[in-house]
Amino acid sequence: MKRSENKVAFIHRYGLEGWICCGGHAVPEIVEQLSTSSEVHFYGPKTTEARNRELRSKVRVHELPYRYNRANPNDKITKTLLWYLWLPILGIRCRAQGIRLIWNDETVPLIAPILRLFYGKNIAITVMDFFARIYTEGHPRLYWLRDLIERIDFAAWRKLPLIFTKVLYTQEFLEERGVPKEVMHLYRNPVDHAKFHPVDEETRRETRRKLGFTDDDIVLSHHGILHPNKGNDWIFQCLEKLKNDLPNLKYLLIGNGPEMDNLKQLASKLKITDRVTFTGWLPTEEDLNNALASADIGLVMRVGQETDHFHMTDTLAHEMACGKPILAVSLRGIAEVIYDGESGFVFDPKNPDTFMQKLTSLAHCPKLRLKFSEEALHLSRHVSNTATCARNLALELTNQMNQND
């Protein structure tokens, strides 16, 4: 591990390996890039994921005295509150240890103001979620709290030297609120194409057999946290209407979350339990890759809340890397990557007829699926290549540290 005056700290409330599993796929390569000239530190809780010994050999890991379990929904609340309590201490420790730049790869409210107060101004963040909006949407009595939190956050963000966003639309949104354009840089959802990729025919058939699908089934896949804003209830309603037109259509729903029980009850009520396969969280990334790559159509779905437009989504990134023809909700961030009729189909989340029509077209036309599949894979290797994403981000972090010399 390199000792250097150039010290950079990564912080994340999920812990090191938890961060990598939930979207920080490029972290090992970012560390590889930075460690040639800088000393890399990580501050965060312990994690339930398997330790990455190779990565830890290149990072000075400072673990907090508690463990974050991403599979436990309660940890989202309790461990995030603990994270807030520890942040001032982390800021002071980083300053005392000569850390020249802190990067936080998420947008938990008030993190930037707290770090500026206890650490200093040289902070980089990734802006992709506006949680104050997400959790107050539909609750007008809480809008005052949302507005207060955002005023505090935006005041801090305007003074940050470096902000990463997943889509260009987020930069437009931030610029309208006074964040300088020159501090913002694009950092698309990275994908390790050694882990997420198409599979051979033998693997495809064996995976489908294990999941209960036949070669004749048309399998629509989706994965992620089962949350109401994913709109799976909307998808179920459409599947029920398509039972006669597409008798071999099956829905592979990978993941878990607060909506699991509700969705199982809805599937039973709509009499589509034979068409929906709930896998829960799959045990390994290889299992996830094989499941996605063995499906016929990759679905990307959100209900279309205001905050949904700030994402490309890991679901889209993974489905593209697996070479799936994409059927995606029409959101501003997704539309930067998927062009309707060229690299996939997009649909209005308020128009089920359009969704069903485009799904039917894909189900009936293998040539169209092949065309979209090839284009999705090409796009993935261009926009989500882990090495490129890591190199560009590491360069910006290094440049920012060097500006302080």
- Considering the entire predicted model, what is its pTM? 0.90
Report the share of the chain in percent with pLDDT over 90.
Answer: 85
With residue 346 as reference, give the H or E element that holds it. strand 345-347
Domains and CATH numbers, the chain: 7-190+385-402 (3.40.50.2000), 201-383 (3.40.50.2000)
Show the CA angle centred on residue 41, arms to residues 383 and 23, nearest 5°.
30
What confidence score (pLDDT) does residue 4 get? 58
Q: How far apart are the first and last CA of the chain?
A: 22
Residues 354-384 pLDDT 10s: 999 999 999 999 999 999 999 999 999 999 9
Instruction: Kindly give the parts of the chain with pLDDT less than 50.
Output: 1-2
Residues 34-82 pLDDT 10s: 999 999 999 999 999 999 999 999 999 999 999 999 778 788 889 999 9
> What's the 3-state SS for 255-294?
ECCCCHHHHHHHHHHCCCCCCEEEEECCCCHHHHHHHHHH
Sheet bearing 218-223, strands edge to edge: 276-280, 249-254, 218-223, 297-300, 326-329, 345-347
